[in-house]
Amino acid sequence: DADVTQTPRNRITKTGKRIMLECSQTKGHDRMYWYRQDPGLGLRLIYYSFDVKDINKGEISDGYSVSRQAQAKFSLSLESAIPNQTALYFCATSAKDRGNQPQHFGDGTRLSIL
């Protein structure tokens, strides 16, 4: 979905480094999400934000932090990367609606930690 842009698309780095993954959206959605995808485990929610001042931990937030700099931007940081954080990371957005809330995904960031 070109309306949700993730940078970088690929990143290789070393254990202990600080990494930031960025997500920006032009959909005007209030809600943004970070997931990681591992083979056989599906998508697991790391953090989510319902608006600029509302940030919540997801299922697997340990080792990660986020920043919602503006309605359109939501970044994910790994303060000190470790090899088991090697995964495919997705950002998603959704509208503020208590009913139908489909999430719209970026194309992902493939992160490898050596």
Partner 1 sequence: GEDVEQSLFLSVREGDSSVINCTYTDSSSTYLYWYKQEPGAGLQLLTYIFSNMDMKQDQRLTVLLNKKDKHLSLRIADTQTGDSAIYFCAESFRSQGNLIFGKGTKLSVKP
Q: Which residues of the shown chain bind partner 1 in the complex (CB under 8 A)? A: 1, 4, 31, 33, 40-43, 45, 48, 50, 58, 90, 92, 94, 98-108
- For partner 1, the closer CB: 12 or 79: 12
Give SS3 for 83. Answer: helix
Closer to partner 1 by Cβ: residue 42 or 70: 42
In the complex, least distance from residue 106 CB atom to partner 1, rounded to whole angstroms: 5
**Token pair 């495919």 is at which residue?**
88
Cβ-Cβ contacts under 8 Å for 14 (sequence gap 6 or more) = 81, 113, 114
